[in-house]
Amino acid sequence: MPRRPTLPASRRSGGRSPFPADQGHRPKPKPKGDHRSRQPAHEYELEALPGLEHVAETELAAVPLARDRHGLRFWYPGDPERLGRLRGAVAAYRVRGWDVPRPRGLLGHQQLGELTDFLGEVARLGGHRSFRLGAAGKESAVMGRLAEELSAGLGLPHDPTEGELLIRLRPAADGHGWEVLARLTPRPLSARAWRACNMGGGLNATIAYAMHKLAGQRDEDRIFNPMAGSGTLLVERALLGPYDALVGVDINEAAVRCARTNLAAAGKQVEVAQVDALHTGLPARSFDLIVCDLPWGDAVGSHGGNEALYPAFLSEMHRLLSLRGRLCVLTHELRLFERVLRGQTGWEGKELFQVYSGGHHPKAYLLHRS
Ligand SMILES: C[S@@+](CC[C@H](N)C(=O)[O-])C[C@H]1O[C@@H](n2cnc3c(N)ncnc32)[C@H](O)[C@@H]1O
């Protein structure tokens, strides 16, 4: 039986983020040169969704880096486990280059020994149980040989489709030799441990993280997530730390169950109700932040349905938003959303980002009352 969501009484969420920088607990920068006496710095690369590189870079800014940094490539002397907890990137790799003209050169006695040591350390740190190669021509005889040698040297099975230790080979950017990238974690960083329930149309968690980071994270926010689906935006916000209230709704019973399952897996207590977001019965100005991943009209909803849904959604969110509140919306129906927005008075705002993910290129907008 659908029920009305309630606004939890004002409280602080007790959730601690797995990433200490999110708690305002910034690591003390090490004195210059100090890292050399502790751990050797290794070179790493972060992979971000195209369009969200700046979000991954900002999160990385909390990590004390060893030397100069170029884009998402950097040297880091600290515990790589910390890089495995970043939430704005889809993957983190340790990188090493070899001065060989072709991948065949990696089969040389010395190179193969160095490569096995390099990969073995990453596998030990990450607990990977199998590996796969990611390279152009990975079906070639040379790559087949390399896979065999690595399987023997690492003591891990080669699983070309599901292998946990993803090993990418590519020509070095400066044109000298080849470099090997080894993914630090058995699964991509975007595949969150809390995701016990999946739903068609579920949002990539790094996009949800980016929406919250860019919409602003305030302890005093009363936050509403209409159309919560599997709860990605709710869980990612709950993990970020304090807020005043956090509540989600979805019209679909299965989605509500799914969101609750994921929140429970994340260890977070957040109310999710089966309610039509357009008819919550909640008083005007109930929320300081409304964050929503609207139906995109393909996997979820239809274009025709969205023609009616989008204007009704904007009107109702205008009513529910506090005077200085923010509305952060993600959609792939760009033309429709922008047309509806132009046709309504009472909104001002900006585009936050456009991201490429899973064959789509949705945009996030941040709006407030004009
Ligand atoms: C794009 S999906 C959200 C996906 C979600 N971000 C996730 O990660 O799983 C849109 C959701 O809107 C819900 N929905 C559509 N119309 C609604 C309405 N009027 N009120 C509440 N939920 C609605 C659908 O049931 C669907 O779960």
Question: Residue 350 above 80 pLDDT?
Answer: yes
- Whether residue 233 lies inside any domain: the answer is yes
Higher pLDDT: 293 or 62? It is 293
Q: Show which of 149, 183, 217 is a domain's final residue.
A: 183
The answer on 163 and 233 residing in a single domain is no
Mean pLDDT over residues 344-358, rounded? 95
pLDDT of amino acid 152: 98
Confidence band of 303 (pLDDT split at 50, 70, 90)? confident
The answer on 316 and 210 residing in a single domain is yes
Confidence band of 300 (pLDDT split at 50, 70, 90)? low
Report CA(227)–ligand 1 centroid distance (Å): 3
- Whether residue 171 lies inside any domain: the answer is yes
Q: Show which of 183, 216, 246 is a domain's final residue.
A: 183
The answer on 246 and 156 residing in a single domain is no
pLDDT of amino acid 68: 60
What is the residue with the minimal CA distance to atom 5 of ligand 1? 229
Non-local (6+) Cβ contacts of 241 within 8 A are 13, 15, 16, 17, 22, 23, 217, 219
Which CATH number belongs to the domain containing residue 256 in this structure?
Answer: 3.40.50.150
The answer on 309 and 274 residing in a single domain is yes
Mean pLDDT over residues 181-202, rounded? 96
- Whether residue 6 lies inside any domain: the answer is no
The answer on 163 and 290 residing in a single domain is no
Least confident of 67-71, 109-113, 351-355: 67-71
362 touches ligand 1 (CB under 6 Å): no
Report CA(277)–ligand 1 centroid distance (Å): 9
Confidence band of 16 (pLDDT split at 50, 70, 90)? very low
Question: Residue 293 above 80 pLDDT?
Answer: yes
Question: Residue 327 above 50 pLDDT?
Answer: yes
Question: Residue 4 above 70 pLDDT?
Answer: no
Report CA(328)–ligand 1 centroid distance (Å): 15
The answer on 229 and 176 residing in a single domain is no
Mean pLDDT over residues 336-357, rounded? 95
Question: Residue 33 above 80 pLDDT?
Answer: no
pLDDT of amino acid 318: 98
Atom of ligand 1 nearest to the CA of 259: 9
- Whether residue 9 lies inside any domain: the answer is no
Question: Residue 29 above 70 pLDDT?
Answer: no
The answer on 246 and 134 residing in a single domain is no
236 touches ligand 1 (CB under 6 Å): no
pLDDT of amino acid 30: 39
pLDDT digits (tens, 9 = 90+) for 236-269: 999 999 999 999 999 999 999 999 999 999 999 9
Backbone angles phi, psi at 360, to 5 degrees: -115, 165
- Please give the C-alpha separations between residue 101 and each of 106, 137, 143, 174, in angstroms, as whole numbers: 9, 15, 15, 13
Residue 45 is encoded by which pair of tokens? 């690369």
Number of domains in the chain: 2
What is the residue with the minimal CA distance to atom 11 of ligand 1? 227
Question: Residue 67 above 60 pLDDT?
Answer: no
The answer on 281 and 322 residing in a single domain is yes
Non-local (6+) Cβ contacts of 216 within 8 A are 289, 326
Q: What is the span of the domain harbouring residue 338?
A: 205-369
Which CATH number belongs to the domain containing residue 81 in this structure?
Answer: 3.30.2130
pLDDT of amino acid 13: 38
Report CA(1)–ligand 1 centroid distance (Å): 18
Report CA(203)–ligand 1 centroid distance (Å): 11
Q: What is the mean pLDDT of the chain?
A: 88
Question: Residue 23 above 50 pLDDT?
Answer: no
166 touches ligand 1 (CB under 6 Å): no
Report CA(242)–ligand 1 centroid distance (Å): 25
The answer on 230 and 321 residing in a single domain is yes
pLDDT digits (tens, 9 = 90+) for 158-184: 999 999 999 999 999 888 899 999 999
77 touches ligand 1 (CB under 6 Å): no
- Whether residue 12 lies inside any domain: the answer is no
Q: How far apart are CA 320 and CA 288, in angstroms?
A: 9
Residue 187 is encoded by which pair of tokens? 């699964």
325 touches ligand 1 (CB under 6 Å): no
The answer on 155 and 49 residing in a single domain is yes
- Whether residue 198 lies inside any domain: the answer is no
The answer on 49 and 172 residing in a single domain is yes
259 touches ligand 1 (CB under 6 Å): no
The answer on 358 and 317 residing in a single domain is yes
- Whether residue 1 lies inside any domain: the answer is no
Mean pLDDT over residues 24-50, rounded? 61
Confidence band of 28 (pLDDT split at 50, 70, 90)? very low
- Whether residue 353 lies inside any domain: the answer is yes
Q: Where are the beta strands (DSSP E) in the chain?
A: 42-47, 73-76, 91-98, 131-134, 165-171, 178-183, 222-226, 245-250, 271-274, 287-293, 321-331, 347-354, 363-369
Atom of ligand 1 nearest to the CA of 232: 8
